Amino acid sequence: MKGVQRATTVSPGALALVSAALMAIGLVTVASATASLDRPVISPGMFATPFGKQLIFAAIAIGLMLATTWAAIPALASAPSRRFVALGLFGFAVVLLLAALIPGLGDPHRGSNRWLDFAQLGLNIRFQPSELAKLSLVTLLAYLLADRDVDPKSFTRSFLPVAIAVGVLVALVGTENLGTAGLLACVAGAMLLVGGCRFLHLGTLAGIGGVGLTYLLFAAKYRLDRVTAFLDIWDDPQGKGYQPIQSLATIASGGWYGRGLGEGIQKHGYLPECHTDFVFAILCEEAGAMGGFLVIGLFVAFLWLGMRVMLAAPTPFERLLAFGLTLTVALQAVINIAVVTVVAPTTGVPLPMLSAGGSGLLTVSVGIGVLCAIAIRGQRAAAIHENLTD
């Protein structure tokens, strides 16, 4: 047992280093993807550009990651704190998701009420509540399944509260963002499986969820258009199939080693959403397949480190929490890269730590901070175990 604990502990610095590397690559790619032919990247008004804003978000994210690590270490050791955070975060996420649907509060950006606009308060800030929903769902499920004196196989005391929580968040998110709703459903299913729920309960929830997601798919025509475009991108190359075709063209034009940083062509009005959902395509165009493999390798390293943190976690709650946080980032990366390479239909799921946007980056940094805190607590528990067995 002593050797196992020593083998599974991981330095929080390694996890932070991998995350910082992904953020740095994201900053460089966003800077290139949003560069103008008549304006240098670094200029007096740069902080009003997408790159300048992302630079600010990245600086805040690093500070938030460190602050979360510091605050989470004592919070994870306190049962009342864990309960307060899990329930409070879930309630806050639900309130924000509902607020985004209220006219005047929600920002109908591109026909979808996914954002809260704080312009009424004099702030030029938009926040996407679905990003917070990811963090809140993982935390609540870890609490409901592993942090109470309740058998996870119990229907009324364990499965039913989990099913209600998952249903509420998936329904609220899915009305405007089906891709993220699907991500939440997959993470929830994996956590239920790892948490020890009955297969019958899990199958029931999967069936209900499948029906719900299918209904949401058919409830909006643009979602069906994305599916039909994926099935045959050449059927309407100037319409429904334009985005996936341009994404493939962007990746293919990079070859193995890329055109060179800043030398990409597709970002100049050819590939929509090139600095957000399709930033991976721009990376492959300018850094080539080798740059794409580097990013994929970093995500694989993040997954491996996160799983090691889970194995060394000192409590069942922290083990399930580390699993959920790691899986959320890894699965989101898989979905985004699958979309960009046209292995899956187009969704609105960004690439974590690389796509431009503050909501996703800041919430992911909080999750990484919690993972680092669990890693530190795992190291301390292993050290105590070694002292007791020496």
Least Cα distance to 325 among 2, 68, 49, 4 occurs for 68
The confidence score (pLDDT) of residue 37 equals: 58
- For 151-179, the pLDDT digits (tens) are 888 888 888 888 999 999 999 998 888 88
Spatial distance between the Cα atoms of 355 and 204, rounded to a whole number of angstroms: 35
Least Cα distance to 247 among 338, 330, 350 occurs for 338
- Structure-token match 């997408």, residue found: 50
> Measured between alpha carbons, how far is residue 265 from residues 189, 270, 277, 356, 376 in Å?
41, 8, 17, 19, 45
C-alpha of 143 from chain center: 20
Spatial distance between the Cα atoms of 365 and 352, rounded to a whole number of angstroms: 10
Phi and psi for 117 in degrees, rounded to 5? -105, 120
pLDDT averaged over 10-residue windows placed end to end, the chain, 390 residues? 50 92 93 72 69 90 95 92 94 91 67 64 70 94 87 84 91 87 93 89 87 83 83 84 91 90 83 88 93 96 95 92 96 95 88 90 95 92 73
Max Cα–Cα distance, the chain, nearest Å: 70
Spatial distance between the Cα atoms of 146 and 320, rounded to a whole number of angstroms: 7
